[in-house]
Structure 1
Amino acid sequence: MLSGFKKYTHDYQLYSLQDAFSKEELEAFDTRVRKEITEPEYICELKIDGLSLSLVYANGVLVTAATRGDGSVGEDITEQVKRIKDVPLVLSEPIDIVVRGEAYLPRRNFQKLNLEREEEGLPSFANPRNAAAGTLRQLNTKVVARRGLATFLYQEASPATNDTQEEVLEYLEKLGLVVNEQRAFATNISEIWAFIEKVATQRDSLAYDIDGVVIKVNQLAQQDALGFTVKFPKWAIAYKFPAELAETEILSVDWTVGRTGVVTPTANMTPVLLAQTTVARATLHNVDYIKEKDIRLGDKVVIYKAGDIIPAVQRVLLDKRTSVSVALNIPKHCPECGSDLLHFEDEVALRCVNPLCPAQIREKLIHFASRGAMNIMGLGNAVVTQLFDKKIITDVADLYQLTIDDLLKLDKVKEKSAKKLYQAIQSSKENSVEKLIFGLGIRHVGSKAAKIIAENLSNLDSISTATAETLSAIPTIGTVLAESLTKYFALDGTKKLLAELKAVGINFDYLGPVKRDDAPLSGKTVVLTGKLSQLTRTEAKEKLENLGANVSGSVSKKTDIVVAGSDAGSKLTKAQDLGIEIWTEEELIKL
């Protein structure tokens, strides 16, 4: 998290979108949808290139604005967002609602800002997205107000009060929020592609940056039926425009070892401007990629930013290859520990399998302290590297044995920052257990899977002794992931590490609502509709989840119960037509 900003735990998981980079990938998405939904209608919206926001309104008043963060926990930037002119502090209706959207810097304001920075002798921002992110990280709210950020809102994160995405957008606009007007309906990929091509021709003339088009299933009930993977909604996809290309030359290659032992090649190149930033390094992915592209030292290559973030080599310019070009020397031994590198048949990567490899241990420590894992503020790459190189720590358990005097042995660490870092380490002991599970770096186990497992099994003792069959029975947890977990927890080294972590007081329990088979509403899908008088929407959702329910945003044949407040509209009518059980707010409170 950012220094000076408080953590904010989202009431609703804020998922990211799966990316598509070709028409074929969109066709594959459409095929997946049609396996579940007959004749789906899609809505296509512009993908704004800015910073994701969540706005929380209580009784129509803005109470919290937060960044997306990792989807579960973000940063509270309420005071900064209140300085964005088009964000209403009070909605036109006194309702409880959580809205997702994007904050961005209009191109005109971006140009003005960079001109001012040049006159002041300050470095320019690389692009409007970086400028928007940098602005919202300003503790001085006067700076935020002066720079002229703007927003587009596009989703109701709380249970929706409408039946379609189009109705949601119209409703958000009615509430006083700004919605992007450019959108189109489609019933097939040809119509979607026509909209994408049209937008691509207009892209440079817009007053703001976009980097693609988002395609969503329009009917919210169908969205609920499709559901989510561990990482993404199955009912939406983000088509990304083709990346900008640049020509450069391969000068040398570095081979680095990651926390799983994978050895990754990175090219050092002649610096070149790409997508408004200067690039001098690019990933070469793995040995198979190098062989497939026939990449050699001295080659002229075309590079691009994969996903608009990571520079990568697209192709070698063979017509410009000279006798100076030489084949890359593929390492046979680990560049860190000297162990033999293995190239398994089912993998494309070279791998160091030495568990004592210092690079792997160091990278695991960095991962353990990272934001998505234990989130230890101030314990970044440089500090971890120093601690490891000075042999002050050798594994993650050692972090919790550190004293302030130990931290003062590090370069550029003074007493104030040492005390702050020590406190951050101690505070991380209180994290919910899914953070620890992800932080352990177990193969195939990402942050979302860790949370799902923790929700279902409630504590690390249960998880570490669970069978592969028990784990794979958890929704979205497959056999590969389950087997990876059981193998990891069966290791003697793992058992020793867990005992050490427990001894220093690390929390092993899941701190969110636990899913229990014996809970009164276990396995039930419940929809909230209408205005509640005694509970806020957030409180009602929390109570339902604590009772074991899955809270959905729209009514379908899979809905078991609808809790209806006053002025309940089409959702109540639809539930009655389908013969779904209807509860009052009082009945929910009584349960």
Structure 2
Amino acid sequence: TGLKEIEYCVEPKFDGGSISLIYEDDLMVRGATRGNGVEGDEITTNIKQIRSIPLSAKFSKHGIQTVEIRGEVLINKNNFAKYNQQLVEQGQAPLANPRNAAAGTLRIKDPAEVSKRNLEAFVYHISYYTTPATKEAPFTTHSQSLDLLWELGFRSPKQEKKVFKGIQQVIDYCLEFEHTRDNLPYEIDGMVIKVNNLELQDKMGMTSHHPRWAIAYKFKARQGTSKLLSVEFQVGRTGSITPVAKIQPVPIGGVTVSSISLFNEEVIREKDLMIGDTVLVERAGDVIPYIVKSQAELRKGDEKHIKFPKNCPVCDSKLFKEEGEAVWRCINIECPAQVVERIIHFNSKDAMDIRGFGDANVRKFYEMGLLKDIPGLYTLDFEKIGSLEGFGKKSVDNLQAAIEKSKTQPLHRLIFGLGIRFVGETTAKTLASAVDHLMDFKQFTQEQL
């Protein structure tokens, strides 16, 4: 930048469901989820149920004609606890945590149910706006844009943000704020540090993934202590065998943790884990739980070693481990566990996006003999499905429509959906760009691939 000292704006990193709002001529005309960063879900009706989002705002007072605002939808801790209590009283399972509850609520089709959950929204970024050609910019710094949003009736982090010159003050404020995080009425998982001057932001630019002028400071993960009760072995879609620790349920950061992936045999050895151990558990990024270590000094002598299987726990085929890899694999392509996981992956949002056909229904249809492989998705007997409990005409029609719609997905989604090992989303796009039809790959040599 050529500057000796940079001005930064520091604000909380809200932990909820990301949204984008469009206002035209002072009226809110569209609300959407962030989705994959390029395409999200249209949720305008649900957005209108959130009282802290104005349906109209006097942007024209500042010469703004059209504006896009980014924000985060939250459920504060008190409202979350009250709603969960209502669910329990109705005999329903409580929601896992405020973050998942907020993100999930945005996609509910019943606006009345959305309204009941008392969502709140914080807006933290004006990403785009238009003004008449002769009009001066209504703000020149990020902090000024937050002040403007607050003035127009939005909940922006005006009160929580701080502006500093020099990085040391930024560091001190982040550390100070971390100590007070549990006293806040809503969940945050860190702080966001942004270069305050918008002209300097433009000069610094973006990578393909994120802006160079902003960085997140993540708070230390919350921890808890529990007991390792047992280890189960799961088979993934590529045949990988994953040990999963079953522990005594322990609450960590508002979520009760009872299952934790141990990844592979080497992790078990490195952490010196035994059945019956007292273990230190952490949620990485306050999301994914993992075992930090066993507390060997608390062992009583009756702990048991964890025995990794030599055969697949589902189809009993002999397991193999490639040289240089840490993962044991079942190489039986007909292994029922792999077949089911491949279908689940094929249906997933980032692949063929067959909505309403999640894990539970795939497993149910497979066990009942209604579905045996991926091609079978397109020859399902919907008459039989309609006779099943919980599948009314509307459910069957929606499922049939979702499967039919998947036929229009671009080729790269199909390639990714096939679940080929080492072929992720990026590789799938690269492969798809090289052909016009999937069957064209039959003519490719190994060198061409």
145, 149, 173: which one aligns with 2:119: 149
Greater Cα offset, 243-252 or 379-388: 379-388
- Match status 1:429 vs 2:431: no
260, 264, 280: which one aligns with 2:238: 260
Alignment partner of 1:264: what SS? strand
What is the identity, as a one-letter code, of the residue corresponding to 1:178? R
- So what's the TM-score if we normalise by structure 2? 0.82
Shift of 1:363: 0.9
What is the identity, as a one-letter code, of the residue corresponding to 2:146? L
Equivalence map 1:354-365=2 (5 Å): 354-365=332-343
246, 251, 260: which one aligns with 1:282: 260
Shift of 1:414: 4.9
Partner of 1:65: 31
Partner of 1:336: 314
Partner of 2:355: 377
Alignment partner of 1:211: what SS? strand
Q: Would you say the 8 A contact 2:78–2:185 is kept in 1?
A: yes
Distance 1:440 1:346 in 2: 25
Deviations 1:28-74 (A, max 9, x none): xxxxxx9x999766533201122211112233321121222333343
Partner of 1:98: 68
Equivalence map 1:191-590=2 (5 Å): 191-218=169-196, 222=201, 225-229=204-208, 232-233=210-211, 235-405=213-383, 407-408=385-386, 413-447=391-425, 450=428, 459-460=436-437, 464=441
RMSD in angstroms over aligned alpha carbons? 3.6
Alignment partner of 1:359: what SS? helix
Deviations 1:386-435 (A, max 9, x none): 44345544432332222323545767545543333222211111123343
Q: 1:327 to 1:377 in 2, by over 3 A?
A: same
Distance 1:98 1:453 in 2: 34
Alignment partner of 2:40: what SS? strand
Shift of 1:100: 1.2
- So what's the TM-score if we normalise by structure 1? 0.64
What is the identity, as a one-letter code, of the residue corresponding to 2:291? V
Q: 1:122 to 1:174 in 2, by over 3 A?
A: same
Alignment partner of 1:99: what SS? strand
Q: 1:447 to 1:96 in 2, by over 3 A?
A: farther
Unaligned runs of 5+ residues in structure 1 are 1-33, 468-485, 491-591
Greater Cα offset, 389-398 or 419-428: 389-398
Q: Would you say the 8 A contact 1:83–1:141 is kept in 2?
A: yes
Partner of 2:102: 132
Q: Would you say the 8 A contact 2:435–2:441 is kept in 1?
A: no
Distance 2:189 2:300 in 1: 36
Distance 1:450 1:38 in 2: 44
Distance 2:446 2:369 in 1: 29
Alignment partner of 1:400: what SS? helix
142, 156, 166: which one aligns with 2:143: 166
What is the identity, as a one-letter code, of the residue corresponding to 2:316? G
Q: 1:357 to 1:147 in 2, by over 3 A?
A: closer
Shift of 1:336: 2.6
What is the identity, as a one-letter code, of the residue corresponding to 1:68? R
Shift of 1:463: 8.9
Partner of 1:51: 17
Q: Would you say the 8 A contact 1:283–1:310 is kept in 2?
A: no
Q: 1:325 to 1:488 in 2, by over 3 A?
A: farther
Shift of 1:442: 3.7
Alignment partner of 1:74: what SS? coil
Unaligned runs of 5+ residues in structure 2 are 131-136
Partner of 1:537: none
Partner of 1:75: 41
Q: Would you say the 8 A contact 1:43–1:166 is kept in 2?
A: yes
144, 156, 180: which one aligns with 1:179: 156
Q: Would you say the 8 A contact 1:367–1:439 is kept in 2?
A: yes
Partner of 1:89: 55
What is the identity, as a one-letter code, of the residue corresponding to 2:219? F
Shift of 1:187: 7.0
Distance 1:442 1:48 in 2: 36
Aligned-pair identity in percent equals 37
Distance 1:344 1:236 in 2: 41
What is the identity, as a one-letter code, of the residue corresponding to 1:177? F
Q: 1:362 to 1:145 in 2, by over 3 A?
A: closer
Q: 1:137 to 1:400 in 2, by over 3 A?
A: closer
What is the identity, as a one-letter code, of the residue corresponding to 2:206? G
Alignment partner of 1:289: what SS? helix
What is the identity, as a one-letter code, of the residue corresponding to 2:207? F
Q: 1:314 to 1:428 in 2, by over 3 A?
A: same
Distance 1:457 1:403 in 2: 36
Alignment partner of 1:334: what SS? coil
Greater Cα offset, 375-384 or 112-121: 112-121
Deviations 1:91-119 (A, max 9, x none): 31252222210111233444554565566
Shift of 1:299: 1.0
Q: 1:310 to 1:43 in 2, by over 3 A?
A: same
Alignment partner of 2:314: what SS? coil
Shift of 1:86: 2.1
What is the identity, as a one-letter code, of the residue corresponding to 1:421? L
Shift of 1:135: 4.5
